[in-house]
Homo-oligomer: A and B are copies of this chain.
């Protein structure tokens, strides 16, 4: 959208980790841009891939797993396959049983600059793998999330 939203507040340096995400051919919808739904797939993938890389653990096998309780996204500019993206990861609130991520999506330009394309929130609530009742965040996950807390 040429008119649009104010992107000046979404700054790459505010996100302690940038996680690269590839676009796919079918990410583009009928309007020739990445479908709004797919942005959440970038969020979902970046958060979990980073947790797995950072902890060196298959987080899906831990006794407590993160269930998504709430998500939101503001779309700042159109994206299109085959653009290369970086998901900005930060933690807004680290509770005892939940983590609120503040996320952003940036398009990599040819010069290597990062242009903001979206800003979002992503809330994980930790539950027992079997009973699905709320439990404390596993220590390995907590240690990883702490690295994302904005100063």
Instruction: Give residues in A with beta carbon < 8 Å to B.
Output: 1-5, 21-22, 24-26, 28-32, 35-38, 40-41, 44-45, 48-49, 52-53, 60, 65, 67-75, 78, 81-82, 125, 127, 131-134
Bound complex: CA A28 to CA B49 (Å): 13
Given contacts A1-B132, A36-B68, 11 further A-B contacts (CB under 8 A): A1-B125, A1-B127, A24-B44, A24-B45, A25-B44, A29-B29, A29-B30, A31-B65, A37-B44, A52-B82, A72-B73
**Number of chain copies forming the complex:** 4
Residues of chain B within 8 A of A5, CB atoms compared: 69
Bound complex: CA A4 to CA B31 (Å): 26
Bound complex: CA A91 to CA B65 (Å): 35
15 contacts between A and B (CB under 8 A): A1-B125, A3-B133, A5-B69, A21-B22, A24-B41, A25-B30, A25-B45, A25-B48, A26-B44, A29-B29, A30-B32, A31-B60, A40-B40, A70-B73, A70-B75
B70 and A74 form a contact (CB under 8 A):
yes
